[in-house]
Amino acid sequence: MVRRYADPLVVQTQLDGTDGSGIGPVAFTWRGRRYAVRTVLAQWRERRAWWRDALDPAPGQPHGIASAAQELHVWRVEATSSSGKNIHFGVFELSCEPAISAADTSGMPHWELARVVD
């Protein structure tokens, strides 16, 4: 069973090691709990839900074909978190959207928890 989310995450990253150009998650914080990524099971790119903002974008956001061309980078990871004697283990899909807003001066990508696999 897969549960869908759109929760923002704080993600710690490093170079992914494949060609030196990408980033890969090594840890993330979700709902106040820090998870350490143990294994990256898969990664891929998928289209954003461009139709949501293609016709009526927020100020500074791309529109039309520029909006449709944006992609998310998704990682499926096994991660664990421990709090006291309890250890939490799960398979998570983390999505990363590059900072595309002209108003976004941080230049930091936007991370979300997309899915949790039971």
Under a CB-based contact definition with an 8 Å cutoff, are residues 27 and 13 in contact? no
Q: In the chain, what percentage of residues exceed pLDDT 90?
A: 41
Rounded mean pLDDT, 9-21? 70
pLDDT one-digit tens code per residue, 94-107: 999 876 544 455 56
The domain spans of the chain are 2-117
pLDDT one-digit tens code per residue, 32-63: 899 999 999 999 998 766 666 556 666 666 55
Place of tokens 């990363």: 96
How much is the pTM? 0.73
| Residue 5 CB neighbours (<10 A) | 15
| Residue 73 CB neighbours (<10 A) | 19
Strand 23-30 versus strand 10-15 pairing type: antiparallel
